Structure 1
């Protein structure tokens, strides 16, 4: 049964949100096409990143917890991760945005974005010899710069708050993947390639990586959703 653990993590991360997406007061199912389009666009970049890091030993996967199917060197479970996790996050954002007013004051949002960009750049410089840290912090800084100052999106504050609300789920999913409750981790990291700071068993970089991925999923989801309505 241990071979199904990563698959089970994906399943339980998405199943409740998937069921409630058909709720008559939510009707997120009307936007499945927009979500799938967005997640595929974003996944292309993150899967390429994943393939390169896996091939170069930055991280690797424990076959003990996998069903054994690999595509381009990645377990099928890892590919499903880029659909299941964004689905739950985008669905949560959609619901909270539907029922609550969570918009930020523009100055507060700008402060958050600028502070985050500066912090990411500083960390990238300090840990420039750690490839996971360097790539994660540089691309996240570039993401925030692009979304806020070039593409002029005005929901980063709201998205950041919702990502914070999702932290218990993040700790549950990434905790299991990085070894919480298991004899050995499902995903292993080369110590020379990341800062070494962990939240329980989870590298700090994972939280930043996930944040960046969700921001791009939200951007493309909203873009494709608007196209459906036109």
Structure 2
């Protein structure tokens, strides 16, 4: 059982929101098509990233909590993380929209997203010798750049902002467990070194870009599909 902890946490994170996906007010299950497309598109990019940096030694997985089985250097729990974690994350977004509503996006503020995209290039360059730091900063830059084009001004929408805040709080809990066990050991040469509750600061930008990009694709896909 111990060697399946990583996978079990991912499944449990998915199970609760899935059980509530048939709520009449939210009816989250009806949004599965755009969510699946966004998850697979963004997930493919991040899985490729994960495979590459794992082989380069940016981090290594602890067999004690993830088992010894690997597919392209990644344990089962890591694959489940990419496939299942977006589900509860977007669920939070939809619950907030359904029960609390949101202020509209303000496309005229898209410049803020582009400024943030440019801004993350600076720490990426400064810490370019720390592999994970470099890629985490570049991924955050990519998120703000893509969102500036596909969902301009979304960062001014109250529902989006509250969702990202709650998603981050959930991330602190789940990733805090992962790093406390630990399921993953980070190469000190690949990270900046600053941690919050044992979580490397890079993980926060990794999560921001991963879930942020999924929402960036999900929101316009949902509109195109008329959902």
Aligned equivalent of 2:223, options 216, 220, 226: 226
Q: Does 1:134 align with 2:134?
A: yes
Task: Indicate the SS of the match to 2:60.
Answer: strand
The match for 1:216 is 213
TM-score (norm 1): 0.88
Query: Is the 1:59–1:190 Cα contact (8 Å) retained in structure 2?
Result: yes
Distance 2:86 2:155 in 1: 16
Q: Flag structure 1 segments of 5+ consecutive residues without an equivalent.
A: none
Deviates more, 1:19-28 or 1:155-164: 155-164
Distance 2:3 2:172 in 1: 21
Distance 1:11 1:139 in 2: 26
Residues 41-82 of structure 1, C-alpha deviations (whole Å, 9 max, x = no match): 111100000000000000110111124432112111101101
Deviates more, 1:165-174 or 1:1-10: 165-174
The match for 1:122 is 122
Task: Indicate the SS of the match to 1:94.
Answer: helix
Q: Does 1:154 align with 2:153?
A: yes
Task: Indicate the SS of the match to 2:22.
Answer: coil
Task: Indicate the SS of the match to 2:185.
Answer: strand
Alignment of 1:1-230 (within 5 A): 1-103=1-103, 106=106, 110=110, 113=113, 116-148=116-148, 150-158=149-157, 159-179=160-180, 182=181, 185-229=182-226
Deviates more, 1:47-56 or 1:129-138: 129-138
Distance 1:107 1:36 in 2: 26
**What is the aligned-residue RMSD (CA, Å)?**
2.3
TM-score (norm 2): 0.89
**Deviation for aligned residue 1:160:** 4.0
**Deviation for aligned residue 1:115:** 5.7
Query: Is the 2:92–2:166 Cα contact (8 Å) retained in structure 1?
Result: no
Distance 2:103 2:226 in 1: 22
Aligned length: 225
Distance 2:183 2:25 in 1: 37
Query: Is the 1:21–1:27 Cα contact (8 Å) retained in structure 2?
Result: yes
